[in-house]
Chain A
Amino acid sequence: MTCAESRDLMLMRKSELTREQENQLRGHFKTCADCAAYLQENKDAMRRMEALRAFEPVLKNAQDLTSDILNAVESARRGATQAAASSSGRVFQILSYRTMRILYGTFVLGSVGLFLAQQLAVATDVQSLEEKLAQRRGGKAGIQVMYSVPSNLVNRLPKSKQILSYLGTADAGERDGLFVIDGSSLSRAVDVVGSVIFRSTDAFSDDVSRKKLEALAETIQRSVSARVTIRSKERS
């Protein structure tokens, strides 16, 4: 038997061989090492094939495959949605916690309190400033000191705009031959007279006029007398 005949017979199943063909093959394997090795290789390959067959995936029910896949996708999608929802849900969950509620309450009260305190501080400062200014103007309730000067002396003062502005304040005025005025306005008016005397070199035609005004200013200062009045607090 030739090697080619031997390999053709080897492709056939054992049950398909005749006894004579079996004997011829055995005889050939004894004399041909190559064919004997080829036979052994075929046997090994067949064994591996049998082993692989054991791992073959088995679909119990092939028609359920689509629904299985869709279920798996749906399950994965739901998982992702739940994960996303859990982070925002956690915020609400945390705010619901007692500590967080207290913190939130503190923030609200603190903010409102700070705002109110700051506004109150402004109101207090403004009131205090107004009182201070009123005190300076002499408008505060309580004792008010006014000054009186004989009207005829005041009427002889130069009628400059500045002097008239001091003599024309709300509290100033002529009463029973006396000109009554607050201390501050009087002081300012006398300052202005001093200014006229010393500054306005062209205001006087001669020294006599200047000296007359100086004398008038001095007379006014000597004639000033204080008048104390008690003012009641104004109600608003």
Chain B
Amino acid sequence: MKNHPNILSVTLMMLAGLAFSGCLDVETKTTVNRDGTLARTITFTGDSARVYRGDFPLTIDSLWSTSIRKVDDKKFEYSASRTFADAEALNEAIKNVPYKTLPVRVELEESFWWFVTDYHYKETYKRWNPFDNVPLTDFISPAELELAIRHEMEDEPYNTKGDSLALTDAGERFEKWDARNIFESYFLVVLEGVRNLNDPALKQETMVSRKEDLFNAMQIPLQEGKFDTLTVILNRVLKTRIASRAMAANKEGFSLFDEQLDFKGAISANSYKVSIEMPGIITETNAKEIEGNTVRFDDFKQIAYIMDHEMRVASRAINWWAVIVTALLIVFGAVSLVVGRRGKGR
């Protein structure tokens, strides 16, 4: 049996490593209080340049209490804290900025059962892949995807050599899908530029007819994150320098494409951890780690790259006031019965 790097993580790692330096360790700690309020603290740890630059992957506005401290010679930590009246207030405060911050949504449900109150907390990191042109299922079967996710989420080793080999093959198709996804966006932007340029030397039809040639030439650079070589490849394949002018003719489109690439690289470069502290005893969670009444999630950016990733935790807290009220009612009832019986005896 073989084990190998996860198919989902390889592409992200390549992009992150080649496109960016100065990654951040992002840690979010949320405390769910008994009254339904939520206290959230987010820390970003990285080198001083990265921390002081401030463009963090999670939305933080001026209402958060912030501080920066030096962790060691190289690392600094930016910390932001705020308490919210409810989940909706928190959602409002962490609303994402497209292609700047991650889309995150929080839900909290409370169920009152007299002696106990159940809390169901859910934090969802929405699919953050900025490119959405080609469905993943065109390249990887749902069964393969499920196996890969189980391996990723549940640390489940592949059971057979066949599984492992199948996933190795699926990993290659995953990379191809990712490259194709980016390529489709890139191609559409260039095509729009060609349309705007309206130069007889490079017609739209020519572009469309050479689409697959372009992809074949660009696939590896796209997989390796060498985006700066795309223009050179474009000129080489189309055998004209007009391609570069076409790009200039669709500045807006290229600016958005660059923004999407930057976002992808920036998010991929960071590591993310989420911890949630619940009131009472934890009764259910999909976290891998539990310590007391705190659950911890990490290594989820790969999953959230392709689909919404839900982090769930449920807990149950005893309402001691309800226990006391019930006990008093029982005692009062018993006393009443005894007194009533004596009264009747007379």
- Contact at A190–B157, with CB atoms within 8 Å? no
Give the segment of B4-12, B91-99, B134-142 that binds chain A.
B4-12
Nearest chain A CB to B27 CB, angstrom units: 15
Question: Is B13 an interface position by the 8 A CB rule?
Answer: yes
Which residue of A is nearest B6, CB measured?
A: A191
Question: Is B330 an interface position by the 8 A CB rule?
Answer: yes
> CA separation between A126 and B290, bound complex, in Å?
11
Give the segment of B123-131, B183-191, B214-222, B333-341 that binds chain A.
B333-341
Which residue of B is nearest A115, CB measured?
A: B115
Once A95-B337, A224-B1 are accepted as A-B contacts, the answer to whether A122 and B283 lie under 8 Å apart by CB is yes
> CA separation between A108 and B337, bound complex, in Å?
13
Segment 161-220 of A: residues with Cβ below 8 Å from B: 183-184, 186-188, 190-191, 193-195, 198-202, 217
Question: Is B2 an interface position by the 8 A CB rule?
Answer: yes
- Contact at A183–B157, with CB atoms within 8 Å? yes
Nearest chain B CB to A99 CB, angstrom units: 13
Segment 257-304 of B: residues with Cβ below 8 Å from A: 269, 281-285, 288, 290
Enumerate 28 A-B pairs (CB-CB under 8 Å) in ascending A order.
A92-B343, A94-B340, A95-B336, A96-B343, A96-B344, A101-B337, A107-B333, A111-B330, A121-B316, A126-B282, A129-B284, A133-B288, A136-B154, A145-B157, A147-B1, A183-B3, A184-B157, A187-B151, A188-B155, A190-B4, A191-B6, A193-B5, A194-B13, A195-B13, A199-B17, A221-B2, A221-B3, A222-B2
Question: Is A89 an interface position by the 8 A CB rule?
Answer: yes
Once A125-B283, A221-B4 are accepted as A-B contacts, the answer to whether A115 and B323 lie under 8 Å apart by CB is yes
- Contact at A92–B316, with CB atoms within 8 Å? no
Question: Is B240 an interface position by the 8 A CB rule?
Answer: no
Segment 144-189 of B: residues with Cβ below 8 Å from A: 151, 154-157
> CA separation between A19 and B284, bound complex, in Å?
130
Give 10 new A-B contacts, CB below 8 A, not counting A92-B336, A199-B269. A93-B344, A104-B333, A115-B323, A129-B283, A133-B290, A183-B156, A184-B157, A195-B13, A198-B10, A221-B3
Once A114-B115, A187-B157, A198-B17 are accepted as A-B contacts, the answer to whether A122 and B316 lie under 8 Å apart by CB is yes
Question: Is B326 an interface position by the 8 A CB rule?
Answer: yes
Which residue of A is nearest B323, CB measured?
A: A115
Question: Is A71 an interface position by the 8 A CB rule?
Answer: no
Nearest chain B CB to A183 CB, angstrom units: 3
Among all A-B residue pairs, the 4 with the closest Cβ atoms: A92-B340, A183-B157, A194-B5, A125-B283
Give chain A residues whose Cβ lies under 8 Å from the Cβ of B269.
Answer: 199
> CA separation between A24 and B195, bound complex, in Å?
155
- Contact at A122–B281, with CB atoms within 8 Å? yes
Partner of B341, one of A89, A96, A221: A96
> CA separation between A96 and B18, bound complex, in Å?
84
Question: Is A11 an interface position by the 8 A CB rule?
Answer: no
Which residue of A is nearest B225, CB measured?
A: A198
- Contact at B337–A187, with CB atoms within 8 Å? no
| Most chain A beta-carbon neighbours within 10 Å: one of B155, B290, B330 | B155
Segment 95-116 of A: residues with Cβ below 8 Å from B: 95-96, 101, 104, 107-108, 111, 114-115
Question: Is A62 an interface position by the 8 A CB rule?
Answer: no
- Contact at A225–B1, with CB atoms within 8 Å? yes
> CA separation between A184 and B155, bound complex, in Å?
5
Give chain A residues whose Cβ lies under 8 Å from the Cβ of B343.
Answer: 89, 92-93, 96
- Contact at A136–B288, with CB atoms within 8 Å? yes
Nearest chain A CB to B155 CB, angstrom units: 4
> CA separation between A202 and B340, bound complex, in Å?
87
